[in-house]
Amino acid sequence: MGMSMNLSRPKPVALLALLRDGEFGTEVLLGRKLRGFGIGKIVLPGGKIEPGETSEQAGIREFFEETGLLVASDQLRPAAKIVFNFPANPSSDMDCAVFIARLASGSLAPSEELEPLWFSASALPVTQMWEDSPLWLPRMLAGEQFTAHISYAADNQTLQEIALAPWPE
């Protein structure tokens, strides 16, 4: 019976990458986490899928709550499915649906969760990101679609393993 803790299901999460054409090519809206697990790191906006919500609905809602920008559902393109494992902290395990959008309305505004920041897709702030992000985010921003499985070491900081499988054409 003592093992049941490790069988906790990963939290369903939706993440959204908003892209725009900048002066020097594609830019992506990321954000610095202001609280919670991974505080201080630069991440994709998003959050937990609530009961009764689709991953699309959650992605749009969380993105709006964190950035002040509203994305229409017909703008979302599924980009990746990523499972994150933190063996030392299973309650932080996540099963993420990742979407890309290129159009949003509203005014960019920080929230309690996130300070939104635009970055060039070709110059991501890799030293401020989770170790896995530079290994898959540029590929996703370049149009690749894939499923990934990412595991961290016991320190919750060091990348232990990443496995990417491209989606069938």
Convert the pLDDT of each residue in 26-54 to its tens digit.
Answer: 999 999 999 998 999 999 999 999 999 99
Q: How confident is the model at residue 9 (pLDDT cuts 50, 70, 90)?
A: confident
What pLDDT does 168 receive? 83
Residue 108: what residue type?
A: L
Residue 27 phi/psi, 5-degree rounding, is -120, 150
Q: Which residues on adjacent β-strands are paired with residue 119?
A: 28
Mean pLDDT confidence for 7-17: 89
pLDDT value, residue 2? 42
DSSP per residue over 140-151, as a string? Answer: HHTT--EEEEEE
- 16, 59 contact by CB (below 8 A): yes
The CATH number covering residue 32 comes to 3.90.79.10
Q: How far apart are CA 52 and CA 107, in angstroms?
A: 28
**Mind listing the pLDDT tens digit for each residue in 108-161?**
999 999 999 999 999 999 999 999 999 999 999 999 999 999 999 999 999 999
Tokens of 6: 């490790």
How buried is residue 65: exposed, middle or buried, by Cβ count under 10 Å (0-12/13-18/19+)? middle
Q: What is the pLDDT of residue 24?
A: 87
Domain interval for residue 157: 2-166
E-state strands within 86-158: 94-101, 105-106, 114-120, 146-152
**Residues 53-96: tens digit of each pLDDT:** 999 999 999 999 999 999 999 999 999 999 999 999 999 999 99
The fraction of the chain above a pLDDT of 70, given in percent, is 95
Query: DSSP readout, 6-49?
Result: GGPPPEEEEEEEEEEEETTEEEEEEEEE-SSTTTT-EE-SEEEP
Q: How many structural domains is the chain composed of?
A: 1
Whether residue 4 has pLDDT greater than 60 = no
Calculate the CA dihedral of residues 160, 163, 164, 165 and round it to 10 degrees: -170
Q: How far apart are CA 39 and CA 21, in angstroms?
A: 28
